[in-house]
């Protein structure tokens, strides 16, 4: 569901406004509108990939890049020392609600394990 029906594709194009914290030629990071922690950002690829289930070998470097961007965002938000969590929900059963792959970056409060 790339393009006009994908809200994160619209964030990439600027059609939907977002509080961006980082962007480069392959990825965009922006603040989640329904924050679950003092820092809650989402890192997405500019290219539409619906979920990890749809990712293939051609996406290997891109997925690694998303994790490095997540670490960068966490570091810039001041969480490198105190810790932070990166989450990729895959499929509705795991809580995925937007089908454009994204890495949640959560930090700034104690994070328990296991997650809910």
Kind and range of the H or E run holding 7 = helix 7-13
Catalytic residue, chosen from 79, 100, 102, 104, is 102
Q: Which of 34, 57, 93, 110 binds ligand AMP (CB under 6 A)?
A: 34
Q: Is residue 97 near ligand AMP by the rule CB under 6 A? A: yes
Shortest CB 96 distance to ligand AMP, Å = 4
Q: Is residue 5 near ligand AMP by the rule CB under 6 A? A: no
Q: Is residue 32 near ligand AMP by the rule CB under 6 A? A: yes
Residue 52 or 62: the one with the smaller Cβ distance to ligand AMP is 52
Q: Is residue 7 near ligand AMP by the rule CB under 6 A? A: yes
Shortest CB 88 distance to ligand AMP, Å = 8
Q: Tell me the C-alpha distance between 74 and 86, whole Å.
A: 9
Please report the DSSP string for 37-104 in residue order. SSEEEEEEESS----GGG--GGGHHHHHHHHHHHHHHHHHTT-TTT-EEEE---SGGGT--SSS--EE
Shortest CB 81 distance to ligand AMP, Å = 25
Q: How deeply is 111 buried, as exposed, middle or buried, from its count of CB atoms within 10 A (0-12, 13-18, 19+)?
A: middle
Q: Which of 2, 13, 15, 16 binds ligand AMP (CB under 6 A)?
A: 16
Closest CA to 22 of 91, 78, 70: 70
Catalytic residues: 102
């Amino acid at each position: 569901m790339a393009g006009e029906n994908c809200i994160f594709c619209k964030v990439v194009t600027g059609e939907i406004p977002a509080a961006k914290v980082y962007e480069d030629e392959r990825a965009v990071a922006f603040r989640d509108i329904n924050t679950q922690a003092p820092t809650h950002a989402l890192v997405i690829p500019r290219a539409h990939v619906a979920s990890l289930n749809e990712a293939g070998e051609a996406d290997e470097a891109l997925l690694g890049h998303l994790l490095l961007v997540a670490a960068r965002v966490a570091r810039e938000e001041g969480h490198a020392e105190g810790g932070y969590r990166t989450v990729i929900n895959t499929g509705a059963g795991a809580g995925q609600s937007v089908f454009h792959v994204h890495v949640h970056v959560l930090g700034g409060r104690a994070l328990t394990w296991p997650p809910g």
